[in-house]
Amino acid sequence: MENIHKIPEDIIKKASDGNIEAFEEIYKSASNFIYNIALRITNNREDAEEVTHDVFIKIYKNLKNFGYRSSFTTWIYRIAVNTALTACRKRSRELKRTTLYTDAIKIRYIEEIVEEKKTKERNETLLSSILDILNPDQRACIVLRDIHELSYKEIAKTLNININTVRSRLKRARKSY
């Protein structure tokens, strides 16, 4: 069978009584119809496939309650549309949650950057204050040793002074603050 509009009433009755072969005929006749409705409403192939599966589960579970108050096609159409709309609403809620989560992460990241910048500025201010109380020779030794992490030997070479002078300037500078 290929057309949902031509599903015989006896097939519907057999399927509602639990006949799997009859239900397969309904599936073969209606699956493309349902998938196309779901695809148009959800605008997403994966969601449309999921909706199609959900619709057939609902049809299978509720077929015994189909009372011929409307056409079988209308009944299936209503199930397909409602299931697709529910899927869209669910997807929308998930996207909102994802967006809120992503926004929260961005805000947290920005807050961390701002806090890091403030900490860096405070440290720079503190360092500047400490360096201001030192004489230029001591300041040069502290900067080269504690900030640029040069060895005593490298500092002596850089400043063209004796290594013992480096040691004494660093010692006096550290006692000052």
Q: Is residue 108 part of a domain?
A: no
pLDDT of residue 1: 42
Q: Is residue 43 a part of any domain in this protein? A: yes
Percent of the chain with pLDDT over 70: 98
Q: Give the total number of structural domains in the chain.
A: 2
Q: Which residue has the tokens 């799997």?
A: 20
End residue of a domain, out of 90, 124, 156: 90
pTM equals 0.53
Give a yes or no: residue 109 inside a domain: no
Q: What is the pLDDT of residues 99-155, one digit of tens each?
A: 777 877 888 888 888 889 999 899 888 888 888 898 989 989 998 998 889 999 999
Whether 121 maps to a domain, the answer reads: no
**pLDDT of 98:** 77
Q: Is residue 35 part of a domain?
A: yes
The domain of 155 spans: 133-176
In-domain check, residue 40: yes
Higher pLDDT, 162 or 97: 162
Tell me whether residue 143 is in a domain.
yes
Contacts of 8 (CB under 8 A, 6+ apart): none
pLDDT in tens, 63-84: 988 877 778 888 999 999 999 9
Residue 102 Cα to chain centre, angstroms: 6
Within a domain: residue 116?
Answer: no
Question: How many helices and strands (H and E) does the chain possess?
Answer: 7, 0
CATH for 45: 1.10.1740.10
Q: Please check whether residues 84 and 25 belong to one and the same domain.
A: yes
